[in-house]
């Protein structure tokens, strides 16, 4: 899939959970949402993007969330 599109989708999820004052809770919200709604190939691709280009374009919260919860999100 178009990685730019996936990055945009992930960041928009991050925008929503970014209003959570507790950043760890916000990151968990991002991770849970991606775990619950993203098909495994989409998750694999976003992690490949992180591995290959340090997650270029991903917001800080999303990058934090994906790195912190990679194990649960791996498919």
Partner 1 sequence: MQSITDIDLGTPRRTSEKQITLEIDGVNVTVPEGTSVMRAAAVAGRQVPKLCATDMLEAFGSCRLCLVEIEGRRGYPASCTTPAEAGMKIRTQSPRLADLRRGVMELYISDHPLDCLTCPANGHCELQDMAGAVGLREVRYGYDGENHLDRPKDTSNPYFTFDPSKCIVCSRCVRACDEVQGTLALTIDGRGFASMISPGQMQNFMDSECVSCGACIQACPTATLMEKSVYAYGQPDRVVETTCAYCGVGCSFKAEIKGNQVVRMVPNKNGQANEGHSCVKGRFAFGYTTHPDRILKPMIRKSIEDPWKEVSWNEAVAYVASEFKRVQEKYGRDSVGAVTSSRCTNEETFVMQKLVRAVFNNNNVDTCARVCHSPTGYGLKTTFGTSAGTQEFASVDQADVIMIIGANPTDGHPVFASRMKQRLREGAKLIILDPRAIDLVRTPHIEADYHLQLKPGTNVALINGLAHVIVTEGLANESFALERCDPDEYNAWKAFVSQPKYSPEEVERITGVPAEQIRQAARLYARPGNSAIYYGLGVTEHSQGSTMVIGMANLAMATGNLGREGVGVNPLRGQNNVQGSCDMGSFPHELSGYRHISDSVVRAQFEKEWGVHLDAEPGLRIPNMFDAALDGSFKAMYIQGEDFVQSDPNTQHIERAMRAMECVVVQDLFLTETAKFAHVFLPGSTFLEKDGTFTNAERRIQLVRKVMPPVAGLADWEITCAISNAMGYPMNYNHPSEIMDEIARLTPTFSGVSFEKIDRLGSVQWPCNDKAPEGTPTMHVGGFVRGKGKFVLTEYVATDERTSRKYPLILTTGRILSQYNVGAQTRRTENVVWHDEDVLEIHPHDAEQRGIKDGGTVEVASRAGRVVLHARVTERIQPGVVYTTFHHPDTGTNVVTTDNSDWATNCPEYKVTAVEVTPVSRPSRWQEQHRDFTEQQEDLLEQRLTKS
Binding interface with partner 1 (CB under 8 A):
1-2, 5, 8-9, 12-13, 15-16, 18-21, 33, 35-42, 75
Cα three-residue angle 18-58-39, rounded to 5 degrees? 90
CB contact set of 51 (below 8 Å; sequence gap of 6+): none
CA separation for the pair 6, 19 (Å, rounded): 21
Whichever of 2 and 51 has its CB closer to partner 1, that residue is 2
Whichever of 40 and 52 has its CB closer to partner 1, that residue is 40
CB of residue 24 to partner 1, shortest distance in Å = 16
CB of residue 57 to partner 1, shortest distance in Å = 13
CB of residue 63 to partner 1, shortest distance in Å = 17
- Count CA atoms closer than 13 A to 23's CA, side-chain side: 7
């Amino acid at each position: 899939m178009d990685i730019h599109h996936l990055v945009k989708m992930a960041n928009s999820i991050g925008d929503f959970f970014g209003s959570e004052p507790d950043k760890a809770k916000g990151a968990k919200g991002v991770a849970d949402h991606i775990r619950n709604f993203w098909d495994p190939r989409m998750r694999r691709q976003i992690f490949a993007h992180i591995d290959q280009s340090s997650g270029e374009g991903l917001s800080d919260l999303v990058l934090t969330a994906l790195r912190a919860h990679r194990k649960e999100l791996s498919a």
